[in-house]
Amino acid sequence: MAKIAVADMSGIEKAAVLMMSLGVDASAEVLKRLAPEEVRTLSTTIAALRNLDDKTRAAVLDEFAKVRAIAVKPPAKAPAPRPMPRPVEHPVEERNFAAEIVDHSIKRERVEVSFEDIGKLDDLSVKDILKNVDFRTLCIAVKAADDDVKEILFRNMTEREAGQIRSEVLEIGPVKLSQVEVAQEQVTDVMRRILNGGRKAA
């Protein structure tokens, strides 16, 4: 693949490079700390970077090494304290710096959204959302949606689909606020997965 400048790489891409440098056991420990959608995003990115050139890989790993060095740098020496009774020692879990770095790199790239943000999306992202939300959930979510959200949703449907949604919304009748909130959160979850996969809100 074409050479990529390290400065142009996203946090997720750099995290993927780090994961490729770890052994099987270390990688498994890192993955345990990530959410399922983060694991999927990271796995997809690793697959895309399989043929990354060695020089770029080395530069990314060097960057991570510097981050780790700063994290473990001992503080400046302070005056020796007065002797104190020695406390009972308990085993301390060793820090997993690889996991911490990967987790930070992924979360830094994540897009946080709310249901109302649909009104800010490009048409392609809205179409992706509509493909991945079931009819009933969409109807309940739309029932209490703002006009700008309804407008962009209907704009990205066929006339027949929009008509079916409008009819169903009328037939549903009154619904509890909690039902609307659950439906809108389900739509938001789909939107979040799509945006974190690449496309962003305007």
pLDDT tens profile 41-89: 888 888 888 888 888 888 888 877 765 554 434 444 545 555 555 544 4
Q: How many structural domains does the chain have? A: 2
Q: How far apart are CA 3 and CA 58, in angstroms?
A: 13
* 30 touches 98 (CB < 8 A): yes
Name the region of 151 (left: φ>0; alpha: ψ -120 to 50; beta: rest): alpha
pLDDT 10s digits, 139-179: 999 988 989 899 999 999 999 999 999 999 999 888 898 89
| Residue ranges making up the domain that contains 140 | 115-196
Q: What is the pLDDT of residue 157?
A: 93
Residues 105 and 123 reside in one and the same domain? no
Average pLDDT of the chain, as a whole number: 76
Q: Is residue 1 part of a domain?
A: no
This prediction has a pTM of: 0.46
CA dist list (Å): 32 to 23, 35, 63: 14, 8, 24
Residues 103 and 32 reside in one and the same domain? yes
Q: Is residue 202 part of a domain?
A: no
Residues 105 and 132 reside in one and the same domain? no
Residues 127 and 153 reside in one and the same domain? yes
Q: How far apart are CA 174 and CA 143, in angstroms?
A: 9
Supply the DSSP symbol for 22: S
Query: Strand (E) positions, the chain?
Result: none
Name the region of 74 (left: φ>0; alpha: ψ -120 to 50; beta: rest): beta
Compute CA 102 distance to the chain's CA centroid, rounded to the nearest angstrom: 12
Q: Is residue 161 part of a domain?
A: yes
